[in-house]
Structure 1
Amino acid sequence: MPSNKPITIACDACRRRKVKCDGQQPCIRCGSAGLICCTTSVRRKKGRQGATATVLQELRKAPEPLHTNTNNVISTPTPQSTVISNRFVRKSGLLTPNLVQSCADYFFARMLGTVPILLPTTFQSHVDRTSECLHSYCLVVAFCAFVFTQTGYTSCLDPENQTAGRGKPLLDEALSARRLLDPFAAPTRHGITIAFLLYGCQIGMGNQRQAYYFLREATTLYTAGMLDQADAGVDDNEGNLFWLLLISERAHAIRRHRPITLQITPDSPVLDDTQSDPSSIGFRCLAELYRPFDHMFLSRWNGTDPSSSRELLIQLEEHLQQAVPADLELPDILLADLRVSQQWLRTMIWQLATSTGFLSSTPSHPCLGFAYPLQIARDLSLATWKLSKESLETHGIGLVEKLFEITCTLTDVMACISPAGLRSSSFDIGPQDYLKHFCTLIHGLPGGQNKFLPLLLAKISQTLPSMLASVTRHLGLPVQGQPAPTDMDMDMGSPVGYRNDWYKAFEWGEVSRIGDKTPEIEGQTLFGEGL
């Protein structure tokens, strides 16, 4: 029997329309009108707040609420004249509960220390609303696509790599849903989260232009002042969001010579240094690594500001050493990203010193010496030898690309060293060992064997041909006599997996700045014809 107890709190839509609410969730009137049914704890002030006749039409124009019909169609409540153009057909069987749970388990167990953009409770709230809210559905699909394309999830889930192509359909679904969204119709944090996840997906797919578009959208939404305190909430730390965007933007800007949007000011969010859990410590160290790589550094890096100095580069190098101490003890997953990022940034400093002519035969600091990449390679080799393969796989293609850039710089330096200087002595490891170790890592990590290893072997064959046979034997690969095999070799199942189009289209200037111009040491040419 229906209860005669009066309804004390009507839902928001019924209260605005001044109609009787039955108190159910959802109520009958919202269900029949195609409106989202929710009740806020804040009561509106009494009195007319506008023309009553237009309230229903105004509510129906809101892009946030959704409903799912029996044909698995998610559609936004819109006026009759535009309902067809705004319908979104959810792809059946793509976003299964098992898939969502599996991706969430992997991400929150491994990635919170480097990508703290969501917490489990926040993500679960979006999962619960995927059937009624297009923003939540788009976020969850983009999240799963991110896990497939940007991390080592596929390798962990399927060692035989049979599910490697599942990220593309998820990304396509997220992009299709996002085309119907107004980024200003939902809390800005949702829009920033979706844009960042799509940025990571595009990076994982190798689409650099699309990735930059979504990264700029995320940082622009943040800097536009749309993120108010009401949206920040208590579950997601605004400081984490700011620093995650800053880290991603500066890493991308260094790789691709792009401008940056976010700047560190006295009003910038401060990371909570009272938390002592490993994830918080690891993220604070990661943020500290990128702190000094601001627009001033990038202007010098891009060649638009010639005012760089040796003292500045030395300060940057010393900052990197202090940001991640050598005796820092953290789980392997956190250390893997920290150590590789630290050595990659040290390599970038040395490349800037090279292109600006600051290398010296009697350097005032090791970072201004020609052999500095050998020291970087040694430090990184010792660090990664202690780490598990799974910890390196977690960080996906981004970590592999950093390893690749470090190895290319090492190869360029090795080409200028005598054969005797390349070999190890006694029980000490030498440059040849570093090179083989990095090639082994790239060969075994997700995305490395098919994309970066062919490019690396091609560079070795051009720059350091005496090492090609040794490296390929070390990897268990047939010795390649050409920079890239023919299509017939590909058809015959070459384990190297070369792609001629990758080799031809690759921009070597993004890998190593050594070849930008011939550096000099106190008036004498440093490199020979081999570079």
Structure 2
Amino acid sequence: MICVSFENMSIPAKRACDACHRRKVRCNNNQPCGNCSQAGLTCTYDAIPQKKGPKGSRAKVISELKETQKQTDLGQTSQSCRSSGSPPSSPTFGGAFNLLTNELVESCTEFFFLHMYPTMPVLYREQLGQAVAEMGHSVEAYCLITSLCAFMLIQPGIMLKISPILDAAPGSFTNPKLGSILMDEAVRVRKCYDYVENPSVTTCITSFFLFGCCFGLHKHNNGWLHLRDATALAQILGMQDESTYAFDDIIETSRKRRLFWLLFVTERAYALQKHRPLTLHATIGLPTLGQDSSLAGFIHLVNLYRPFDDNFIGLWNKSRTDCSPFTVTRLQQQLTEALPAFLNTTESQAADLRTSQQWLRTLVWQLSIANGFLSSTSPDTSMTFRFPIEIAKDLVAVTTQFSKQSMEVHGIGLIEKVFDVACTLIDVMSCVPLSSQTFEPGPQEHLNQLLTLISTLRGGESRYLPLIMEKIRDTLPAILSALPPDLVNKMANKGVEKSHSQHGSNSGSAGSSPYSTPPFLHFYPLA
């Protein structure tokens, strides 16, 4: 065979390069050839000639070639990173590195500090700016920024205009899709260094953001692992020991203390939602307000979840059976007194606090009925069967005060809490006699308003409204005619049964979580 040489590389004469051969187009045999240069492909002559086959879509082939080369590059980068033990330089971070444009990073950063910081006060602007400057040569900084952007994009409340990337059709590259790609990128690059043996506050925050990503994408098994990763790193760093904070400067001490309590609250909320155990306990002092007024709402949030300790979680997970009426009545009293009538907080903080308060009251009531403590004649309304009606009334009253955006920034977590209260109300309405009130809204009106709220929050209509409409049809079909017509029409157009089957198959669906009243309520004597 006659060969010609291009830049010290022997190429068979009149043989198309691998990409042109795959695409079935004429190759000019340059190095690189014109077709590869135009398509942005790596021009190689490595493939062994095969028999000719049927022709296919050339555009599709280009996409397949790019994806194959990208995966090869990512694999080589990961292997090189593991072998050298040093952070990769910016060009080798992977295909997602180019997605982190300055505009995207700035938009996500601004959204975080504008809407999310009061609930998650663990990052400072100077610190984040330094991480952005270092992300080109620091794996730790790169993973922090990547996970932060992924977390922000997956939140329902952030809307960014994203240009088509790679060969995606215009409009197909949605925020959650881009967020999912960035999340995978952060997870992949983290494997390039042993962050467990060399932990830092930054790696702990990264794990927390990855948990938030998984929660927003309903990947609860992965989410649980990332949350446990974050709490384990916090304990390795000694955040649970007050003595640890004596050796840090004021800024670092404040950041670590806030992070510990953020993980403390998150772990408790997730333990209640998904029946998980606890690893963190109230072993250090709360952060001080100082000049950061937004910390007042954060401290309220900590105090709201603080009573839900190992004892309660043990009862909730049924690993303990020593529950008493005094335990639940005291918890209900603590929840009632946990928040003042007037909250000197941001609107988004208030929305989270008020919604969480009513949701926690619902869970404690569920524990009461599970242990047979309720009575129709109890002088304590929290120990009666009608108490969820009062909770729904209070929730409707507080949520009407908040803007849509102040609630949406909390993602699906807030929607799930409203969903849980609504499900409990439906079960109670199906079991207790309801007296009509002429001058005061009743449980039907409360339910209608909760359904309207769920349908208007981004992510609620597509996922949770079909589930709750299906529950109404199965549990309390008599009230279907009393529901708001626009909600009924929405579900009729979408098909409730189809939506229910799609969402019910997910591991994080309401059907497999405690987002409904215990089934034995329907067999419990409520008269």
TM range (shorter): 0.7 to 0.9
Shift of 1:404: 0.7
The unaligned stretches of length 5 or more in structure 1 are 1-70, 487-497
Give the match for residue 49 of structure 2.
none
C-alpha distance in structure 2 between counterparts of 1:397 and 1:155, whole Å: 18
Per-residue CA shift, 1:472-495, capped at 9, x if unaligned? 514362564998344xxxxxxxxx
C-alpha distance in structure 2 between counterparts of 1:89 and 1:482, whole Å: 39
Of the candidates 123, 147, 168, which is equivalent to residue 142 of structure 1?
A: 147
Question: Is 2:223 the partner of 1:206?
Answer: no
Q: Is the 8 A contact 2:112 2:152 kept in 1?
A: yes
Per-residue CA shift, 1:82-101, capped at 9, x if unaligned? 58997642425311111111
Q: Is the 8 A contact 1:188 1:231 kept in 2?
A: no
Of the candidates 457, 462, 469, which is equivalent to residue 457 of structure 1?
A: 469
C-alpha distance in structure 2 between counterparts of 1:112 and 1:379, whole Å: 27
C-alpha distance in structure 2 between counterparts of 1:72 and 1:297, whole Å: 46
Give the match for residue 292 of structure 1.
307
For 1:147, the aligned partner's letter is M
The unaligned stretches of length 5 or more in structure 2 are 1-72, 164-170
For 1:400, the aligned partner's letter is I
Question: Is 2:412 the partner of 1:361?
Answer: no
Q: What does 1:70-149 align with in structure 2 at a 5 Å threshold?
A: 88-149=93-154
Question: Is 2:248 the partner of 1:270?
Answer: no
CA RMSD of aligned residues (A): 3.3
For 2:396, the aligned partner's letter is S
Of the candidates 215, 218, 222, which is equivalent to residue 230 of structure 2?
A: 218
Q: Is the 8 A contact 2:427 2:522 kept in 1?
A: no
For 1:95, the aligned partner's letter is L
Of the candidates 420, 433, 438, which is equivalent to residue 425 of structure 1?
A: 438
Shift of 1:149: 1.5
Give the match for residue 153 of structure 1.
158
Per-residue CA shift, 1:230-281, capped at 9, x if unaligned? 677615522211110010000000111111100123xx13221x44754111
Q: Is the 8 A contact 1:397 1:448 kept in 2?
A: yes
C-alpha distance in structure 2 between counterparts of 1:220 and 1:177, whole Å: 20
Give the fraction of aligned pairs with identical amino acids, expressed as a percent.
34
- Given the superposition, is the C-alpha separation of residues 161 and 425 from structure 1 closer, same or farther in structure 2, using an over 3 Å criterion? farther
C-alpha distance in structure 2 between counterparts of 1:275 and 1:171, whole Å: 34
- Given the superposition, is the C-alpha separation of residues 119 and 131 from structure 1 closer, same or farther in structure 2, using an over 3 Å criterion? same
C-alpha distance in structure 1 between counterparts of 2:137 and 2:86, whole Å: 18
Q: Is the 8 A contact 2:85 2:192 kept in 1?
A: no
C-alpha distance in structure 1 between counterparts of 2:483 and 2:161, whole Å: 27
Per-residue CA shift, 1:100-149, capped at 9, x if unaligned? 11111111011122112212221111111110101100110100111111
SS in 1 for 2:159: helix
Q: Is the 8 A contact 1:336 1:391 kept in 2?
A: yes
TM-score normalised by structure 2 residue count: 0.75
C-alpha distance in structure 2 between counterparts of 1:483 and 1:310, whole Å: 43
Of the candidates 409, 423, 432, which is equivalent to residue 394 of structure 1?
A: 409
Q: Is the 8 A contact 2:154 2:175 kept in 1?
A: no
For 1:105, the aligned partner's letter is E
For 2:269, the aligned partner's letter is A
C-alpha distance in structure 1 between counterparts of 2:322 and 2:430, whole Å: 30
SS in 2 for 1:526: coil
C-alpha distance in structure 2 between counterparts of 1:213 and 1:395, whole Å: 21
For 1:100, the aligned partner's letter is V
C-alpha distance in structure 1 between counterparts of 2:183 and 2:177, whole Å: 11
Give the match for residue 514 of structure 1.
518
SS in 1 for 2:489: coil
C-alpha distance in structure 2 between counterparts of 1:379 and 1:288, whole Å: 20
- Given the superposition, is the C-alpha separation of residues 336 and 93 from structure 1 closer, same or farther in structure 2, using an over 3 Å criterion? same
Per-residue CA shift, 1:59-96, capped at 9, x if unaligned? xxxxxxxxxxxx99997997996589976424253111
C-alpha distance in structure 2 between counterparts of 1:366 and 1:282, whole Å: 28
Give the match for residue 234 of structure 1.
251
- Given the superposition, is the C-alpha separation of residues 157 and 92 from structure 1 closer, same or farther in structure 2, using an over 3 Å criterion? closer
- Given the superposition, is the C-alpha separation of residues 424 and 362 from structure 1 closer, same or farther in structure 2, using an over 3 Å criterion? closer
Per-residue CA shift, 1:7-33, capped at 9, x if unaligned? xxxxxxxxxxxxxxxxxxxxxxxxxxx
Give the match for residue 41 of structure 2.
none
C-alpha distance in structure 2 between counterparts of 1:248 and 1:217, whole Å: 13
For 1:526, the aligned partner's letter is L
Of the candidates 255, 259, 270, which is equivalent to residue 277 of structure 2?
A: 259
Shift of 1:312: 1.2
Of the candidates 442, 446, 471, which is equivalent to residue 483 of structure 2?
A: 471
For 2:503, the aligned partner's letter is W
C-alpha distance in structure 2 between counterparts of 1:465 and 1:206, whole Å: 29
Q: Is the 8 A contact 2:470 2:497 kept in 1?
A: no
C-alpha distance in structure 2 between counterparts of 1:410 and 1:161, whole Å: 38
- Given the superposition, is the C-alpha separation of residues 90 and 113 from structure 1 closer, same or farther in structure 2, using an over 3 Å criterion? same
Give the match for residue 458 of structure 2.
446
TM-score normalised by structure 1 residue count: 0.75
For 2:188, the aligned partner's letter is S
SS in 2 for 1:91: helix
C-alpha distance in structure 1 between counterparts of 2:352 and 2:319, whole Å: 30
Shift of 1:165: 2.8
Question: Is 2:503 the partner of 1:502?
Answer: yes
- Given the superposition, is the C-alpha separation of residues 305 and 81 from structure 1 closer, same or farther in structure 2, using an over 3 Å criterion? closer
C-alpha distance in structure 2 between counterparts of 1:287 and 1:253, whole Å: 15
Shift of 1:333: 1.1
Q: What does 1:318-337 align with in structure 2 at a 5 Å threshold?
A: 318-337=333-352
Question: Is 2:244 the partner of 1:243?
Answer: no
For 2:255, the aligned partner's letter is N
C-alpha distance in structure 1 between counterparts of 2:312 and 2:82, whole Å: 54
Give the match for residue 207 of structure 2.
195
- Given the superposition, is the C-alpha separation of residues 504 and 194 from structure 1 closer, same or farther in structure 2, using an over 3 Å criterion? closer
Q: As a proportion of its length, which structure holds more helix?
A: 2
SS in 2 for 1:361: coil
C-alpha distance in structure 1 between counterparts of 2:139 and 2:306, whole Å: 36
Q: Which moved more, 1:238-247 or 1:357-366?
A: 357-366
Give the match for residue 310 of structure 1.
325
Q: Is the 8 A contact 2:87 2:139 kept in 1?
A: no
C-alpha distance in structure 1 between counterparts of 2:209 and 2:362, whole Å: 28
C-alpha distance in structure 1 between counterparts of 2:210 and 2:82, whole Å: 32
Q: Is the 8 A contact 1:366 1:372 kept in 2?
A: yes
Give the match for residue 69 of structure 2.
none
C-alpha distance in structure 2 between counterparts of 1:149 and 1:464, whole Å: 34
C-alpha distance in structure 2 between counterparts of 1:364 and 1:127, whole Å: 59
Q: Is the 8 A contact 1:135 1:186 kept in 2?
A: no
Give the match for residue 192 of structure 2.
180
- Given the superposition, is the C-alpha separation of residues 436 and 319 from structure 1 closer, same or farther in structure 2, using an over 3 Å criterion? same
